[in-house]
Amino acid sequence: MSLSLRWRAAVLTVFIFFAFTATWELSVGGHGGAATMSPEYAALMGATAKGASAMPGPLKVGGQLWEHVLNPFYDKGPNDKGVGIQLGYSIARVAVGFLLAVLMAVPLGFLIGMSPLFYKALDPFIQVLKPVSPLAWMPLALYTIKDSTISSVFVIYICSVWPMLINTAFGVASVRREWLNVARTLEVGRLRTALRVILPAAGPTIMTGMRISIGIAWLVIVAAEMLVGGTGIGYFVWNEWNNLSITNVIAAIVFIGLIGMLLDQVLAFFTKLVTYVE
Amino acid sequence: MITDTQISIEGLRRSFPSANGSGEVTVFEDVWYKVDRGEFVCLIGHSGCGKTTLLNILAGLDAPSAGGIIVDHEEVTGPSLDRAVVFQSHALMPWMTAFANIAFAVRSRWPEWSKTKVRAHCQKYIDLVRLTGAEDKKPSQLSGGMKQRVGIARAFAIEPKIMLLDEPFSALDALTRGSLQDELLSICAATSQTVFMITHDIDEAMLLADKIILMTNGPHAKICEIVENTMPRSRTRHDMHRHPHYYPIRNHLIEFLVNRSTEFEKELSSSDYDPRHPPVVRPGLSRLAVLQSPAERAADGNTDGETIQASA
Ligand SMILES: Nc1ncnc2c1ncn2[C@@H]1O[C@H](COP(=O)(O)OP(=O)(O)OP(=O)(O)O)[C@@H](O)[C@H]1O
Ligand SMILES: [Mg+2]
C-alpha cells in the first residue's frame, strides 16, 4: 500500500511539474499565449501586451540551468563568476556562522537549561533579541567590523543562535526527572551526567533547533549578500537583476532552493541519528 | 538474635504545596520505623498514600519536610551507590540498549573496571533476570515486564547494601514474577541484603517480607501497624498457603486494605496509638488477639492477631 502511495505521489508530482511548466511556457510564449489570458492574469504573470514577453519560459531557464551545471566554477572577474563559486561563498559563510552559533548556543543553552536562575535572568534578553530581524544588525556589524564578509557571517551567527539556544535550554530543562534520578542514585558526576544523560536526552530537541537555524541562516544569507555585495549567491541574484537577466535570477532561485533542501536533509539525517523512541 | 538497626526512619513528614497554591498538603507525617540489617520489609498501602514519596526520601532523591533518616549511623543527605533503587516507572534510558543501561550503572560503581570485566558482570545479571538474547534491544523494543527486569538487573548489578524496590514486579506475568521473586530471595539469602520494597500484592509481601508495614490512606498517612510474618523463612510459593498462619496473616492484611486503611482516624481516637512505636501484630501466633478498639473487639469475637508494643 505504501509503495503504491509513493508511486501515485511521484506520478502526481511529475504531472504537476509538467502542468506548471506548460502553463508557464504558454503564458510567456510568443503564440498569443498572453492574449488568451484575462488581462489581470497576464499582468500578474508579468506578460507584456506585445505577445512575446521579457519573462523567460521554462525551456530558456532550463537551458541556462544546464549551462551553469556544465560550467559552475568559472571566474571572469568580480561581476562574472560561476554560480558554483557564488554558492560556495554563501555556503561557507553559513557554515562558519552556524558553527560559531553552535559553539555558543549549545553550552549556553545547557547552562540556562540546568539553572532556573539563569533561565529567568537571561529570558528577557532572549525574548527581546530573538524577534530582531538579523538584517537590522547589518549596519552595526559593518560599522564595527568594517569587513563585509565577516559582517555577513556575523549576521548568520546572530540569526542561528536563537533557535539553538532556546531549543537547547528547553531540551535540557525538560530532561525526564527519573533519568536524572537514576544518575543521582548511581552517584554519576556532573560532567558524566551532562554527556551521558542530558545530552542524549536533549539531543533530538537540540538538533531540531539546529535544523530551524540552518533554514533561517540560508534565508538570511541571500538577503545579507544582496546588501553587502561582492560575492555569494545573494550578490549573484542582485547582479543579474541589474543586468536584467531574469533567466539567471530564476536559475539562481532554483539553486537556492535545492541547496536549502540539501542543508535541511543533512540536518535531518543527524537528527535521525540522535532520535530515540521512548 | 542480636538486632542491628541499619535504617532508622525518624519522625518523617513530607508536605507538598497544595494545588491551589495556598497552604500545604501533608502526604504522610510522624512516620517512625527501624529496619534491621538483612531484613526484608514490605510496605503496603493504597495508591496515592505516599509510598513512592517515602521511598524517594529513603533513596535520598527527595528531602523530608520534617524528621530524617539515619542509615548506618549517618543521616541521609543525598543518593548513594549503597542504596540501589528499582523505580516504579522503570526509568531506563531509552537511547541505550538494555545492556548499556546496566553497564552504565556498573561503570558508575566500579569506574576502574576493564571493559571485559564490566561485560562479564553485566551478562551475569542479564542472565539472572532471564533477559539473555535481549541485551542489544532498546527499551522501546522491550515489553513492560522486560523493562522492569532490566531495571531490576541494573539495581542488583551494583551490589548495594540496601535495595529499595518500588513495585518491581507489578508489570510481570505470574510465571516471571514467581521466578524473579525466587531469585530475589536467593540473592537476599546469599548476601543478607536489606530490602525495602513497595508492593500491592499481598501474597508477594507474605512470601518475601519478614515484616509488612501497613500505611494508612493519605493525606496525613501514618504507619498503622507492623505485621510480622510468622511463617518460617523457608516458606516457598508452593507450600506457603498450607501453613496454619497463612490465612490469619492474609485475612489481617485484607481486612486492613479493605476497611481499616480508610478508617484509621476513627480507630486512632479510641486507642493509645504511639506513632514512635506503631503496634506490632503477629497474626496466627495467639488467639488472644487484641484489636485497636475495645468496641471492635466486642463486635468481632473471632480476632486474628495479637497486638504488642514494640520495645524502644
Ligand atoms: N512532586 C509532587 N508535588 C505535589 N504532590 C505530589 C508530588 N509527588 C507526589 N505527590 C502527591 O503525594 C501523594 C503520594 O504520591 P506517591 O507517588 O508517593 O503515591 P504512591 O503511594 O506511590 O501511589 P502508587 O501506589 O499509585 O504508586 C499523591 O497524592 C501525590 O499527588
Ligand atoms: Mg508509587
Its ipTM equals: 0.84
Rg, Å, chain B Cα set: 20
Taking the C-alpha atoms of residue A84 and residue B149, their distance in angstroms, rounded to an integer, is 57
Which residues lie below 8 Å from residue B39, measured CB to CB, with a gap of 6+?
A: B6, B194, B195, B210, B211
- Residue A34 grid coordinates: 498572453
Ligand 1 binding pocket mutation candidate from B51, B61, B200 (most atoms within 8 A of CB) = B51
Strand B194-198 and strand B211-215: pairing? unpaired
Q: Is A215 exposed, middle or buried (0-12, 13-18, 19+ CB in 10 A)?
A: middle
Protein residue with least CA distance to atom 22, ligand 1: B52
Report whether residue B218 contacts ligand 1, using a CB cutoff of 6 Å: yes
Confidence of residue B123 (pLDDT cuts 50, 70, 90): very high
Bond into B275 cis (ω within 30): no
Say whether pLDDT at B1 is over 60: no
**pLDDT tens string A9-66:** 999 999 999 999 999 988 887 544 444 455 555 555 554 444 445 788 888 889 889 9
Question: What domains can you pick out in chain A, each with its CATH number?
Answer: 1-55 (no CATH), 58-75+82-274 (1.10.3720.10)
Average pLDDT over residues B18-37: 90
C-alpha count within 13 angstroms, C-beta hemisphere, residue A206: 25
Query: How far are the Cα atoms of A55, B200, B215 from residue B47, in angstroms, in the given order?
Result: 73, 9, 10
User: How far is ligand 1, taken at its centre, from the CA of residue B48, in Å?
Assistant: 5
A223: amino acid identity, one letter? A
Contact call for residues B131 and B149 (beta carbons, < 8 A): yes
Average pLDDT over residues B104-113: 96
Say whether pLDDT at B309 is over 80: no
Give the model's pLDDT for residue B12. Answer: 94
The residue with cell 506490632 is B280
User: How far is ligand 2, taken at its centre, from the CA of residue A115, in Å?
Assistant: 28
Contact call for residues B224 and B264 (beta carbons, < 8 A): yes
Lowest-confidence segment of A146-150, A154-158, B99-103 by average pLDDT: A146-150
Sheet containing strand B66-71, edge to edge, reads: B24-36, B5-17, B66-71, B74-75
Q: What is the pTM of this model?
A: 0.83
Q: What percent of chain A has pLDDT over 70?
A: 91
Count CB-CB contacts under 10 A for residue B57: 23
Taking the C-alpha atoms of residue A234 and residue B68, their distance in angstroms, rounded to an integer, is 67
Rg, Å, chain A Cα set: 24
Nearest-Cα residue of chain B relative to residue A198: B93
A120 backbone dihedrals φ, ψ, rounded to 5°:
-70, -40
Inspect the interface and report whether the beta carbons of A277 and B104 lie closer than 8 Å.
no
Give the model's pLDDT for residue A80. Answer: 82
Taking the C-alpha atoms of residue B69 and residue A186, their distance in angstroms, rounded to an integer, is 19
Report whether residue B17 contacts ligand 1, using a CB cutoff of 6 Å: no
- Rounded to the nearest integer, the mean pLDDT of chain A is 88
Count CB-CB contacts under 10 A for residue A220: 23
Contact call for residues B89 and B170 (beta carbons, < 8 A): no
B63 backbone dihedrals φ, ψ, rounded to 5°:
-105, 140
- Closest CB from A178, A192, A201 relative to B87: A178
**pLDDT tens string B153-186:** 999 999 999 999 999 988 788 887 888 888 888 8
Taking the C-alpha atoms of residue A176 and residue A88, their distance in angstroms, rounded to an integer, is 42
Taking the C-alpha atoms of residue B78 and residue B74, their distance in angstroms, rounded to an integer, is 11
